[in-house]
Amino acid sequence: MSPVSSNAPHGQSPLRTVQVVGGGNASSSAHVRSLAAGLVARGVRVTVCAPVEADRAYDFTGVGADHVHVPRSSDPGSVAALRAACSEAHLVHAHGLHASFRAVLALRGRRTPLVVTWHNRAQAEGARARFLRLLERRVVKAAAVVLGTTSDLVDRARRAGARDARLAATALPGRHRPAEGDDPDLTRPKLRAELGATGRPLLLAVGSLDRHRGYEFLLDAAGAWRRLDPVPLLVVAGEGPLRATLQRRIEDEDLPVRLLGVRDDVQHLLTAADLALLTSSWEPRSVLAQEALLARVPLVATAVGGVPDLVGDAAELVPYGDPYALATAVTGLLADPDRRELLRERGAAQAARWPTEDETVAQVLSVYDELTEPARPA
């Protein structure tokens, strides 16, 4: 089906959609901003229901969408606000598990189609993990279509009882825009000097300091590559609850590792890095993996979640939780410039096959058309 244009086809009224965002996930919020911009450009009326701080950060109104403040919590007040915002919508599209559950509650008793996109999966154990699985089943059974950003998320939705689960075309928003700042050839030596990596390899990991990131195994590997000459420096951009534990290990074991905290210059850090490292127990369409390949930085990553499908043969993949395999992959790449150059070339080719923002919007519009065209009034 062709996408909706600025003049609605067959005399129909313009499609009215509500996008529901929790506001706690950067990649899903950036995706919604990109999606809203593309939908508005095609004549779709878009209302984004999200916490006010999410609109400040991602400027949904700046791309032509309306914004309604809806807190992240599922208390009666937030559900009532969402229900009111959805009252005239032809279709509601919720992003993430908690936002989707609020949408289910808000649409109770209505026939408004609900589309759900799963960008990630919650990292939880024990009773909380069981509770989240109950929410997943409730959400997918209420949704007309579930879009998963990775094939294993699609499989998870089907196992939970989804009537219709599909792989989503998901672009990295803004990936065609050049990074802001000076010429990388000029800024790279300065940044490496600031980080303490002059005359030695620089390795970069990015992500919150949480248990599922696998940083304990990364520090094990860092201990193994101390025997190299010169010794590589690993820098980690991110913050989280494990900072004190990781810092203590770094100091006690004299590891060549620096915790940088939250950084807003990850693209610049990538231009300075010799290798990018991704060591999580699970990842969706990892932003770091995409940015590394786009920046032509060789990537070593765990073969989990959506990573293998995302990178293909353009990265060195290792098992999760295996510091020996991780250290071996890193030391092997540092010793093999030809292999690094091959990964750069493969990375550029792989990135060229990823969906564009236009293709992402087109897929979503085709889903919307399926669900709304028969019911939309002229």
pLDDT digits (tens, 9 = 90+) for 112-140: 999 999 998 877 778 888 999 999 999 99
Do 198 and 216 lie in one domain? The reply is: yes
Residue 117's beta-bridge partner residues? 95, 147
- Note whether residue 16 is domain-resident: yes
* pLDDT digits 0-9 by tens, 233-246: 999 999 999 999 99
E strand or H helix at 58:
helix 52-58
142 within domain boundaries: yes
Number of neighbours of residue 187 by Cβ within 10 angstroms: 16
Whole-angstrom distance, CA of residue 205 vs CA of residue 193: 18
Residue with tokens 């790279």: 188
Q: Residue 8 pLDDT more than 70?
A: no
Q: How far is CA 137 from CA 74, 101, 141, 143, 299, in A?
A: 17, 10, 6, 10, 35
Whether 294 is covered by a domain: the verdict is yes
Pairing status of strand 165-167 against strand 257-261: unpaired
Radius of gyration over alpha carbons of the chain, in Å? Answer: 22
**pLDDT at residue number 25:** 76
Task: Let me know whether 221 and 324 are in one domain.
Answer: yes
3-state secondary structure of 322: coil
Residue 378 belongs to some domain of the structure: no
For 82-93, what is each residue's pLDDT tens digit?
A: 999 999 999 999
Q: Are residues 153 and 205 in the same domain?
A: no
Cα dihedral: 19, 25, 28, 33 (round 10): 70
**Two tokens, residue 202:** 């620089």
Please report the pLDDT score of residue 321 as a whole number. 97
Answer yes or no: is pLDDT of 59 > 90. yes
Determine the Cα–Cα distance for residues 62 and 65; give it in Å rounded to an integer: 7
Contact assessment for residue 232 and residue 202, using Cβ atoms and an 8 Å cutoff: yes
- Same structural domain, 68 and 152: yes
- For residue 376, name the pLDDT band (cuts at 50, 70, 90): low
Q: Kindly state whether residues 84 and 207 are assigned to the same domain.
A: no
Q: Is residue 231 domain-shared with residue 272, that is, in the same domain?
A: yes
pLDDT for the residue 176: 42
Same domain as 288, residue 191: yes
Report the CATH number at residue 14: 3.40.50.2000
Tell me, yes or no, whether 21 and 136 share the same domain: yes
Do 343 and 367 have their domain in common? no
By the 8 A CB rule, do 295 and 172 touch? no
User: Taking residues 58-69, what's their average pLDDT?
Assistant: 96
Residues 191 and 145 reside in one and the same domain:
no
Residue of 361, 304, 321 lying closest to 63 (CA atoms): 361
User: What pLDDT is recorded for position 77?
Assistant: 84
Are 24 and 39 contained in the same domain? yes
Range of the domain at 26: 9-174+356-372
Q: Is residue 148 part of a domain?
A: yes
User: What are the residues whose beta carbons fall under 8 Å from the beta carbon of 358, sequence distance 6 or more?
Assistant: 38
* Chain segment 278-288, per-residue pLDDT in tens: 999 999 999 99
208 lies in the same domain as 340: yes
Residue 74: how many CA atoms within 13 Å on its side-chain side? 11
* Count of structural domains within the chain: 2
The whole model's pTM is what? 0.88
Does the residue 4 lie in any domain? no
Of all residues in the chain, what percent are helix, strand and coil, respectively (each to 5)?
45, 15, 35
In a domain, 179, yes or no: no
Tell me the pLDDT band of 147, cut-offs 50, 70 and 90.
very high
